[in-house]
Amino acid sequence: MTEPVVLISALEHFVYCERQCALIHGDGVWMDNAHTVRGSHAHRRVDSGLHRRERGVLTLRSIPLWSETLGLSGRADTVEFNEGAVYPVEHKSGVRHGKAADLQVCAQAMCLEEMMHVDIPVAYVWYGGPRRRAKVLLDHQLRTDVIETVESVRAQLLSGELPAAPNDARCEECQLEPHCLPSATATATRIAALTSEALLL
Query: Residues interacting with ligand SF4, by CB under 6 A?
Result: 17, 19-20, 23, 165-166, 170-171, 174, 176-177, 180, 182
Cβ atoms of 68 and 1 within 8 Å: the answer is no
Shortest Cβ 183–ligand SF4 spacing (Å): 9
Give helix 8-16 / helix 100-116 axis angle, nearest 10°. Answer: 160
Shortest Cβ 19–ligand SF4 spacing (Å): 4
Enumerate the β-bridge partners of residue 57: 54, 82
Alpha helices in 5-139 (DSSP H): 8-16, 18-21, 34-42, 44-47, 100-116
Q: Which is nearer to ligand SF4, 27 or 119 (CB)?
A: 27
Per-position b or e across 69-84, b if 16+ CB within 10 A of its CB: ebebebbbbbbbeeee
Cβ atoms of 170 and 187 within 8 Å: the answer is no
Q: Which is nearer to ligand SF4, 47 or 177 (CB)?
A: 177
Shortest Cβ 36–ligand SF4 spacing (Å): 12
Q: Which is nearer to ligand SF4, 11 or 23 (CB)?
A: 23
Shortest Cβ 184–ligand SF4 spacing (Å): 11
Q: Which is nearer to ligand SF4, 65 or 165 (CB)?
A: 165
